[in-house]
Amino acid sequence: GRHKDQQRSSGFHYQGLSFDQESLHIFAGLCAVDNPKHVEEMLKALQANGLSCTRMGAYKPRTNPYAFQGHGKSCLPWVFDLAGKYGIKVVAMEVTHESHMQEIDQALADAGKPCGVIMQIGTRNTQNFELLKAIGRQNTYPALLKRGFGITLNESLNAAEYLASEGNNQVIFCLRGMKSEFGAPHRNMVDFAQVPTVKRLTRMPVCIDPSHSVGSRDVAPDGVLELCHATAQGVLAGANMVLVDFHPAPTKALVDGPQALTLNELEPFLKDMEIARKAY
Ligand code: PEP
C-alpha cells in the first residue's frame, strides 16, 4: 500500500497537462513516421480512444547506417498538421542533434502551433552532454531522457542533472531496459522495478518504454503479450508515462515493426493499464 503522506509534489504543466509523480499519460504512437496515411490512421485511433498524446519518430538513431534514418524535418509539417486535426496536445519526438530542436520549433511555428512537443533524448545519447546542455538551456520544451542502456542508473540520473542544471525544470526520466544477454529473449533487460526507486531518488515523473524493453510481440502462456505484462508491471509500480509503439500495419513499419502493437490492440491495452493503475 502507498503512504499518501509521503507523496512529494513536483513536476510541471505543459499544454494544459500535468506531468508529475502522480499523473499518468499514455504516449502511444509510431516508432518512426513513415507516411501520412499511417500517421493519420494512428492519430485517428488515439482520438477514438480519448488519448491526446503520442510518440512520433522523425529523427531515428539507427544502428545500421544503411537502414531508414527517419524523414527528419521534411515530415514535420504534415505530422503537426495531422496532430492538430486529431486533437493531439503533446508529441514525444526524439532529437539526436540540437539543430533538430530548432527545426521542430520552426515547423511548429509555421503550422500555427497545433500541438506541443517533448524533446526525447534516446538511450544512445543519454551522455551526449552537449545535446543535454542545449536542451537544458531552453525551457519551452520539456525533455524526456531515456536511461543509458549500458551505464549505471546513477550515471543516467546525473545526465538528467545536466538538463536541470542548465535551467530546464521540465524533465521526465524514462526506463527502457538495459542491454544484457541475461535479459534475452527480451530485447533488453526490463527494469521497471526501478520506477519507485527513481521516484524516491529524484523528483522527476518516470516514464516506461515497454516496446524498447521487451522488443517483441511474444505471447505468454496466459495469452497476454509479454509486452503488455511488462507495461502493467510498470504502471503498477507507479509509472507516470508510458511510451509505446503501435502501427496500423506492423509488417510494413520501417523501424521496429516486430514490437509494434496493432490498432485493434489499443483498446484492450488501455483497459489493462486502467486495471493496473487502479491497483497502484
Ligand atoms: C525510441 O524510443 O524510438 C528509441 C530509439 O528508443 P531508445 O532510445 O530507448 O532505444
CA-closest residue to ligand 1 atom 9: 123
Count, in order, helices (H) and strands (E) of the chain.
9, 10
User: Is the CB of residue 146 below 6 angstroms from any atom belonging to ligand 1?
Assistant: yes
Please indicate, yes or no, if residue 4 is contained in any of the structural domains. no
Q: Is residue 244 part of a domain?
A: yes
pLDDT of residue 3: 56
30 part of a folded domain: yes
Residue carrying C-alpha cell 514490437: 259
Strands 116-121 and 90-94: parallel
pLDDT at 10: 73
The pLDDT value given to residue 4: 52
E strands, 211-250, are 241-245
CATH number at residue 170: 3.20.20.70
Rg (CA), the chain: 17
- Distance from Cα 122 to the centre of ligand 1, integer Å: 5
Within a domain: residue 3?
no
38-44: long-range contacts at Cβ-Cβ below 8 A with a sequence spacing of 24 or more? 38/247, 38/248, 38/249, 38/252, 39/78, 39/79, 39/82, 40/82, 40/86, 41/248, 41/263, 42/246, 42/247, 42/248, 42/263, 43/82, 43/83, 43/85, 43/86, 43/88, 44/86
Q: Ligand 1 centroid to 170 CA: how many Å?
A: 20
Residue to mutate, 30, 31, 119, ligand 1, most ligand atoms under 8 Å from C-beta:
31
- Ramachandran quadrant class, 48 (left: phi over 0; alpha: psi -120 to 50; beta: rest): alpha
For the chain (length 280 residues), average pLDDT per consecutive 10? Answer: 54 98 98 98 98 98 96 98 98 98 98 98 98 98 98 98 96 97 95 98 97 97 97 98 98 96 98 97
Q: Is residue 126 a part of any domain in this protein?
A: yes
Greatest CA separation for the chain: 53
Asked whether residue 7 is domain-assigned, the answer is no
User: What ligand 1 atom has the least distance to the C-alpha of 120?
Assistant: 2
ipTM higher than threshold 0.85: yes
The secondary structure of 20-66 as a DSSP string is: SSS--EEEEEESS---HHHHHHHHHHHHHTT--EEEE-SS---SSTT
Q: Cβ(195)–Cβ(206) under 8 Å?
A: yes
Domains identified in the chain, total number: 1
DSSP class of residue 137 equals T
Q: Residue 116 falls within a domain, yes or no?
A: yes
Residue 6: inside a domain: no
Domain that holds residue 255: 12-279
Residue 241 CB neighbours (<10 A): 23
In this prediction, residue 7 carries a pLDDT of: 47
Using DSSP's 3-state secondary structure scheme, residue 266 falls into helix
Measured from the CB, is residue 122 less than 6 Å from ligand 1?
yes
